[in-house]
Amino acid sequence: MTNIKSLLDFWNTASTAKGYKPLSKEELKTALTENRYYNPDLDYRFEVNGEIKGFALGVMGDDETIPFADKAGYITCCIFDDEYEDDKHVGEALDYLERKFRDGGRERAEFSFYNPMRLSWCMAKQNGHEHNNRPGVLIGSKLYEILKRRGYEIKSHECSMHMDIRFFEMPEEMKKREEDLKAKGITIDYYTEDSVTGIEEFLERLNNPLWSIQIPESLKKNEPLIFVSDNGKAAGFTGPTIKEPSGRGYFLGVAVDEAYRGMGIGTLLFHKLCEGFRNAGVEYVTLFTGKDNKALEIYKKVGFTVEEEFATMRKALN
């Protein structure tokens, strides 16, 4: 296996040229080679004269924090110098990982946001502003076209979005909506132990494998989560409202129980998230959402702009 310096040199040239965040030696170890999900058997490197020219990494295991762990093998990245980013060289890397996944009893190879090994990338038009998880394969990239030729299907179309949150102001319309909902017993506020019940049942109704893992973990850490409650019972969530060292606002997502949709709660909840970020000193917020998701228009109205578009992609291993 090539030493860490060679991988670091490759990462901070070839990988950053494709939008990934530059990493220090320690950051590279944390993100990749010392990550809890790292498996050297799923680490593919292509070298020319002792220098890395291609790097692909997979994730597979029975860890309970891996969504669909028994079915999917996740491809964290597949990066090649431009000279070698072609069907032959990329194909050899994919063949290697697909064979490992198949031998491990997995049904599919997948590029998606369900991959627990998350790699930060920089938004091309936002002066280095970063997002903490690449949601798929950049549409229109060489890799995207190669994957399509190799039988990978597009499962969803994701839009990355960005907003400078420092000057966010809560609209009067949202303030009135909050008061109207309070009159019906529906409140939106930060979680405390005695303020919200029924969270486990709420998560079961959402049926999102990532949130079922992440939200309980966040609560255990006493992170600032915001919940919608109907007379004390959980009916929606967002947050936590955390400022990362980069100035970015970190959160898990936004969701409202299906029984409470159509009341404008989701829109208000997202505004409360933005207000929480501003109050926490956050400078900017990034997120991604499905191109067909109705929430996309809500985010645009608040002030978010679409930056880049990605595809989650999957190939059956039969």
pLDDT digits (tens, 9 = 90+) for 39-72: 999 999 999 999 999 999 999 988 777 888 999 9
pLDDT at 172 over 60: yes
Q: In whole angstroms, give the CA distance from residue 290 to residue 114.
A: 14
Q: In this predicted model, what pLDDT tens digit does every residue of 252-304 receive, in sequence order?
A: 999 999 999 899 999 999 999 999 999 999 999 999 999 998 889 889 989 99
Contacts of residue 205, Cβ cutoff 8 Å, sequence gap at least 6: 257, 258
Look at 124-128, 144-148, 197-201 and tell me which has the smallest mean pLDDT. 124-128
Percent of the chain residues topping a pLDDT of 70: 99
Residues 126 and 17 in one domain: yes
* Total number of domains in the chain: 2
More confident residue, 314 or 294: 314
Q: What is the pLDDT of residue 63?
A: 79
- 207 within domain boundaries: yes
Q: In whole angstroms, give the CA distance from residue 82 to residue 236.
A: 45
Residues 20 and 144 in one domain: yes
Residues 140 and 206 in one domain: no
pTM of the model: 0.83
Residues 92 and 192 in one domain: no
Residues 247 and 186 in one domain: yes
Residues 150 and 80 in one domain: yes
- Please confirm whether the linkage preceding 240 is cis (ω < 30° from 0): yes
Q: What is the pLDDT of residue 238?
A: 97
- 306 within domain boundaries: no
Q: In whole angstroms, give the CA distance from residue 1 to residue 43.
A: 9
- 190 within domain boundaries: yes
Residues 57 and 144 in one domain: yes
Task: Name the CA radius of gyration of the chain, rounded.
Answer: 21
Q: In whole angstroms, give the CA distance from residue 145 to residue 143.
A: 5
Across 236-251, average pLDDT: 95
Residues 239 and 266 in one domain: yes
Contact 154, 98 (CB under 8 A): no
Q: In this predicted model, what pLDDT tens digit does every residue of 179-232 receive, in sequence order?
A: 999 999 999 999 998 889 999 999 999 999 889 999 999 999 999 999 999 999
Query: With b meaning 16 or more CB within 10 Å and e meaning fewer, what string describes 259-280?
Result: ebeebbbbbbbbbbbbbbbbee
User: Which tokens in the block code for residue 139?
Assistant: 């549409």
Q: What is the pLDDT of residue 276?
A: 97
Q: What is the pLDDT of residue 128?
A: 80
Across 115-131, average pLDDT: 86
**Model confidence at 98, in pLDDT bands (50, 70, 90)?**
very high
Residues 57 and 85 in one domain: yes
What mean pLDDT value characterizes the chain?
94
Residues 188 and 116 in one domain: no
Across 88-97, average pLDDT: 98
Closest C-alpha among 278, 228, 279 to residue 303: 278
Residues 78 and 110 in one domain: yes
CATH number at residue 225: 3.40.630.30
3-state secondary structure the chain: CCCHHHHHHHHHHHHHHCCECCCCHHHHHHHHHCCCCCCHHHEEEEEECCEEEEEEEEECCCCCCCCCCCCEEEEEEEEECHHHCCHHHHHHHHHHHHHHHHHCCCCEEEECCCCCCCCCEECCCCCCCEECCCCCEECCCHHHHHHHHCCCEEEEEEEEEEEECCCCCCCHHHHHHHHHHHHCCEEEEECCCCCCECHHHHHHHHCCHHHHHHHHHHHHCCCCCEEEEECCEEEEEEECCEECCCCEEECCEEEECHHHCCCCHHHHHHHHHHHHHHHCCCCEEEEEEECCCCHHHHHHHHCCEEEEEEEEEEEECC
Q: In whole angstroms, give the CA distance from residue 285 to residue 129.
A: 9
Q: What is the pLDDT of residue 303?
A: 92
- 272 within domain boundaries: yes
- 133 within domain boundaries: yes
Closest C-alpha among 161, 139, 151 to residue 110: 151
Q: What is the pLDDT of residue 200?
A: 94
Closest C-alpha among 145, 106, 99, 150 to residue 311: 145
- 289 within domain boundaries: no
**CA dihedral angle for residue 293, residue 69, residue 141, residue 119, rounded to 10 degrees:** 90
What is the extent of the structural domain holding 70?
Answer: 4-159+312-316
Q: What is the pLDDT of residue 132?
A: 85
| Phi, psi of 228, deg, nearest 5 | -90, 130
Q: What is the pLDDT of residue 214?
A: 93
Residues 176 and 155 in one domain: no
- 147 within domain boundaries: yes
More confident residue, 298 or 35: 35
- 228 within domain boundaries: yes
